[in-house]
Amino acid sequence: MSDVNDTKLNSAMFLLTGIPGQEDAHLWISIPFCFIYVFSILGNSTILFIIKIDPSLHEPMYIFLSMLAVTDLGLSISTIPTILGIYLFNSREISLDACFAQMFFIHSFAMIESSILLLMAFDRFVAVSKPLRYASILTLPRIFKMGLACVLRGVTVSFPFPFLLKRFQYCRVNVLSHSYCLHQDVMKLACSDITVNYIYGLFLTVSTVGLDSLPIFLSYVMILKTVLSVASHTECLRALNTCVSHLCAVLLFYTPDIGLALIHRLGKGSSPLLQIDLGYIYLLVPPLMNPIVYSVTSKHLRGRIIRVFLK
């Protein structure tokens, strides 16, 4: 009777994981996480505020940047409760419904961010390759429709995850390998056949990396082709400088994303600490670094930020 009760209790919740072996240092570990979240929220909120109040920044490049900032805010807020709950209050338990809700938002915002990075690559391609038609191609109504398509895509493909997982019984050791819920992590704890979940998750990973990263790569091939045909060395460097911030954002997002996907599906003997570190980099570093990268590399944006806060 006790075993049955234990099984029902275990199946009603999951246990999240911090950094293994560092339980006594959780309070100290929480300090950098708090700083990361504060700077992520302040940085992205500042980007949104500056773009909103400055009419000179109401251009396609900065509108796409504001979309990226909103997505980064959503990604940060989706992970704040559980990560800080573990390190500040040692609160590891999370109910199935709360876990599935967090998982939906994390996967949705991650998919939306991938789509927005693709739109930003298209924006840079048009700006460099067709500068005279830039304003006529990327009009405000068209940008709005593209942004709406990104949101619908992210929500639509992530919507089945909770329902695919809710049909399972969870009768194994219910300890997750991260401080938050991911589909590929939760499905391993089911004591049922997870073939459908595995195929759907793999399909989304491959389609996201393929359908988004491949066009981004091709757009930069075309940009390089256009830039190298420019006679002036100064103009060539100026055109490439406009792409540096976006390239950094792409690398910050896709590198840990691909690494984490490979480890979850292929790295059965990999270090748990590597999984945890890659997971933190994947979700925490892009929202923290994107505002910094764009503020440093964009002279126009940097000047507006300085003018607002120092006047």
Pull the structure tokens for residue 106: 């994390």
Please enumerate, as own/partner, the contacts of 219-228 that have beta carbons within 8 Å and a separation of 24 or more: 219/121, 219/122, 219/124, 219/125, 220/121, 220/125, 220/247, 222/125, 222/129, 223/124, 223/125, 223/128, 223/129, 226/128, 226/129, 227/128
pLDDT, tens digit only, all 311 positions of the chain: 344 444 444 457 899 988 887 878 888 989 999 999 999 999 999 999 999 998 988 999 999 999 999 999 999 999 988 999 999 988 889 998 999 999 999 999 999 999 999 999 999 999 888 888 888 999 999 999 999 999 999 999 999 999 988 888 887 678 888 899 998 888 888 888 888 888 898 888 887 777 888 899 999 888 888 887 765 667 677 777 778 888 999 999 998 888 877 776 676 666 778 888 888 999 999 999 999 999 888 888 888 888 888 76
Task: Provide the terminal-to-terminal Cα distance of the chain, rounded to the nearest Å.
Answer: 71
> Residue 15, SS3?
strand
Alpha-helical runs (H) found in the chain: 2-11, 26-53, 60-89, 96-129, 134-137, 140-158, 160-166, 183-186, 195-208, 214-228, 233-266, 272-297, 299-310
Pull the structure tokens for residue 139: 């009009």
Contact yes or no for 34/80 (Cβ under 8 A)? no
